[in-house]
Structure formats: structure tokens, C-alpha cells
Amino acid sequence: MNINIQNDTFLTTERFLIDVAFLVVFVIGQIMHSQQTEITRRLDFIWKLQATEEKEDMEHLQAYNRKLLANILPVHVADHFLMREKNIEEIYHEQCDTVCVMFASIPNFSEFYIELEGNNEGVECLRLLNEIIVDFDELLGLERFRHVEKIKTTGSTYMAASGLTANSCDKNDFEHVFAMMDYALELFQKITDVNEHSFNNFRMRIGINIGPVVAGVIGTRKPQYDIWGNAVNVASRMDSTGLMDHIQVTEDVYQIVKDKGYNLTCRGTVNVKGKGTMITYLMPGLAKEQSN
């Protein structure tokens, strides 16, 4: 009987130890599972955080690239390249029917530009020219000049155009033409301001024309937006054959703006290279008269 009792005690102890062992293993397993779950949650959080940061970085990079490209190309052209998959070999171009083109030059800037030791071999002259161009550019940020687009600068000549998109080309009321006329007048005011604080006597000459052009981007590594056409050539001639301190416009421009309070007078016929004689109109680079 004692043997049976001892056997029962042994079996009970053995089962207890086995139960304890199972319990210990279970607890350890739960702890390990809990730790593994916590590690997984933390890793998942880190991965999500990294993904969010990478997405934000990518969005910031895209915004930076868009801003950078918009400084090189017009916004509607930049969107053309950024928002669609395009063949790199494809040439961006579009026909624009009623574009108002302006050339504004400072003919006597060459007299001011002198490469002497006193002005750092011409650097100070270029710094002042840069200030003038920046002033011209800043005007384009005004709401009333939203349809005017800078095309390029060549030396001391500034080229701009309006009506290059369907939204900006008003074929009925020609608001983009009036915007260009007002912009040209503002350029004279900017030059006056520059002369006052720099003690110079820069003088401007502006030519404006309207007509169809082809707009496009040339180059891939260094893309450049430009416009071509007879309307561009004539606008350039309006500048080169114009008078100092005046805006010279073609007959087509005159017919559009003649009743809008601009102080235009007929100059008569002007010999224009490649076009023969043309009737042109002049407006002094001062504020326009009040509209009737």
C-alpha cells in the first residue's frame, strides 16, 4: 500500500512538473509572441513613417522641379512636360493666331557699359542691367499682366508676348493687347525709377505688333521657349525703327486700341526691312489718357 501511495505521489508530482513546464513554455511563448508583435508594430510604424517622409520629399522635389521649370518655360508649357508622359524626341509647338508681341530696348545702354577697373571690368554695369530686367520681370507678377509672358532678353532688349494660350488670347475684346500696351507704359516708369536712383539717363524704345506666331521649345538639356513668325519680325522692326521714349505700333494694333484712351498719333510711312513701307503710330512713354 505504501508503494501505491508513493507511486501516486510520484505521478502527481510528475504531472505537476509537466504542467508547470507547459505553463512556463506557454508563458514564454506568449511573451515572445507579444514581443514579436510589438517589434512588428514598431517596424510597421517606422516603415509608414519612412514612406510618408519619402512621399513628402518626393512632393517637395516635384514642387521644386516645377518651380525651376516654370522659371525657364511658361507655366502652360511646363505643365505640358510635367503632367504627361512625352517622347523626349517630340518637339513641343503650337500655332497661336492673335499674339501681341513686344520688343523693348535700351539703345544707349551700350554707351553706359564700359569695361574699366573702376567698375570691376563691366560687372557693375551688368549688375545694373540685371536690376532693370528684374524690375521688368516683377511686373509680370501683377494680376493685370497675367496674360503677358516674358520670352527672352538679348543684351539690353526685352521681348514679351501676350495671347499665347487659349485662355489668354481674347479674340473678341483683345484684353491681352491692352494688357501689353499697359505693360509697355509701365516699363517706361520703371526706367524712370532706375534713372532717379542710379543717376543715369537710360532711354527706352518699344515696338509692338500683333499676328499669328509659332511657339515652341527647342533643346532638351537646356530647353528654351521661343516664338517665330512674321508678326515677331515686324514687332522687332517696330522697335528698331522707332523713336526714343516712344512706343511704335503697327496699323493692326492701332485699330484695336485707338478708342481705348491711348495717346497714339500717326507717324506716317516707315520703311521696314522685308516689308517695304508701313504706316505706324507712336505713343509717348507716359501714362495713357483717361478712357472716354
Q: Which residues are catalytic?
A: 237, 273
**Region class of 269: left (phi > 0), else alpha (psi between -120 and 50), else beta:** beta
Cell of 229: 513668325
Rounded CA-CA distance 98/161 in Å is 10
C-beta separation of 207 from 246 below 8 A: no
Rounded CA-CA distance 285/264 in Å is 11
To 5 degrees, how large is the angle CA 142–CA 211–CA 82?
A: 55
